[in-house]
C-alpha cells in the first residue's frame, strides 16, 4: 500500500507516519528528513537548501522530485511507502502521478491531517528532540521525566530544528495554506482522500488513521 500523509506543520504527520510505517511494514519517506540529511553533507546544494529551510520556504521542485524519484525505486519501498511532506504543491503532485504511472505504481490512499492553527504554532515552537535517539519532547507538554536526560536512551544532549520557531512557523503555515492545501481538492477529485483530525492524543489519531485505511 502506498500512502500520502499531508497536513500543516506541527499537525503530527511525522509522528503518525512512524507509527503507521511500523504497524504496516511500510517505508516512511520524509522529504524534510532527507533534505536535513542533505544539509548535513555541507555540499554547495546542501548550503542553499539550508538557507531556504531555515527561512521556512519551499526547496525547489526539481530537487525534491529528483530525491523522491530515486528513493521509491529502492528495494525497501517494494512493500509500499508513506510519503510525509511530499507532494507539497500541485506541480509536485502531478510529477508524482507521472512518476508512479511510468513505474506501474499508484497511490492507494491520501490522508489529510488537519489541526487548529494556534495549537500548531504552540506545538512547533516548543518541540525539541534527543540528539542521540531522536525521541521527541515538548517544553510544555512532554518534558523528559528526569530534567536534561532522555527517557529512552539516557543521552543528555537535545536539539531543536532551526525552523521550529514562532516566526518561521508562521511562514511555513502560510506556505502550507497557499501551496499545499489546494491538494485537498486535487486528491478529492482523483479519489481516495480521507481527512483526520490531528488534535486528539497521538494514539487516538493513530487509531482514526488506521480505521480509515481499513
Ligand atoms: P518538514 O520536515 O516536512 O516540516 O519539512 C521541513 C522543510 O523542508 C520545509 O519547510 C521545506 O523547506 C522543506 N521541504 C520538505 N519537503 C518539501 C517539499 N516536498 N517541497 C519543498 N520543500 C520541502
53 CA: nearest ligand 1 atom? 12
Q: Which of 66, 85, 179 to mutate to test the pocket of ligand 1 (most atoms within 8 A of CB)?
A: 85
| CA 138 – CA 65 distance, rounded (Å) | 32
Q: Does residue 179 contact residue 123 with C-beta atoms inside 8 Å? A: no
pLDDT of the chain, 214 residues: tens digit per residue: 999 999 999 999 999 999 999 999 999 999 999 999 999 999 999 999 999 999 889 999 999 999 999 999 999 999 999 999 999 999 999 999 999 999 999 999 999 999 999 999 999 989 999 999 999 999 988 999 999 999 999 999 999 988 888 888 899 999 999 999 999 999 999 998 999 999 999 999 999 999 999 9
- 127 catalytic? Reply is yes
> Active-site residue among 101, 103, 127, 170?
127
Ligand 1 centroid distance, CA of 9 (Å): 9
Q: What is the pLDDT of residue 48?
A: 94
The DSSP element (H or E) to which 129 belongs, if any, is: strand 127-130
> Active-site residue among 13, 27, 109, 123?
13
Q: What is the pLDDT of residue 166?
A: 84
Q: What is the pLDDT of residue 99?
A: 95
- 161 catalytic? Reply is yes
DSSP for 150-212 reads: -TTT----EE--TT-SHHHHHHHHHHIIIIITHHHHHHHHHS-EEEEE--S-HHHHHHHHHHH
| CA 46 – CA 76 distance, rounded (Å) | 25
| Residue 45: C-alpha distances to residues 6, 58, 69 (Å) | 26, 14, 18
Q: Which of 59, 95, 115 to mutate to test the pocket of ligand 1 (most atoms within 8 A of CB)?
A: 59
Residue whose Cα lies nearest atom 1 of ligand 1: it is 32
Q: What is the pLDDT of residue 15?
A: 92
Nearest to 105 by CA among 114, 113, 96: 96
Ligand 1 centroid distance, CA of 26 (Å): 21
Q: What is the pLDDT of residue 67?
A: 94
Q: What is the pLDDT of residue 162?
A: 86
- 13 catalytic? Reply is yes
Residue whose Cα lies nearest atom 11 of ligand 1: it is 58
Find residue 81's DSSP bridge partners.
27
Q: Which of 35, 71, 82, 129 to mutate to test the pocket of ligand 1 (most atoms within 8 A of CB)?
A: 35
Amino acid at each position: 500500500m502506498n500512502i500520502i500523509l499531508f497536513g500543516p506543520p506541527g499537525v503530527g504527520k511525522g509522528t503518525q507516519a512512524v507509527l503507521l510505517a511500523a504497524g504496516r511494514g511500510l517505508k516512511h519517506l520524509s522529504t524534510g528528513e532527507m533534505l536535513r540529511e542533505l544539509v548535513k553533507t555541507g555540499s554547495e546544494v546542501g548550503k542553499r537548501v539550508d538557507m531556504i529551510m531555515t527561512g521556512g520556504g519551499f526547496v525547489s521542485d526539481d530537487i525534491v522530485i529528483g530525491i523522491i524519484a530515486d528513493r521509491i525505486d529502492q528495494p525497501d519501498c517494494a512493500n509500499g511507502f508513506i510519503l510525509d511532506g511530499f507532494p507539497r504543491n500541485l506541480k509536485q503532485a502531478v510529477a508524482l502521478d507521472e512518476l508512479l504511472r511510468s513505474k506501474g505504481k499508484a497511490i492507494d490512499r491520501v490522508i489529510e491531517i488537519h489541526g487548529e492553527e494556534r495549537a500548531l504554532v504552540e506545538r512547533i515552537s516548543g518541540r525539541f528532540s534527543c540528539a542521540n535517539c531522536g525521541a521527541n519532547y515538548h517544553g510544555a507538554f512532554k518534558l523528559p521525566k528526569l530534567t536534561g536526560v532522555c527517557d529512552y536512551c539516557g543521552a543528555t544532549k537535545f536539539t531543536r530544528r532551526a525552523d521550529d520557531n514562532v516566526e518561521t512557523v508562521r511562514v511555513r503555515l502560510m506556505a502550507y495554506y497557499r501551496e499545499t492545501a489546494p491538494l485537498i481538492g486535487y486528491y478529492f477529485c482523483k479519489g481516495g482522500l480521507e481527512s483526520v483530525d490531528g488534535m486528539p492524543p497521538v494514539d487516538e489519531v493513530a487509531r482514526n488513521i488506521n480505521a480509515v485505511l481499513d
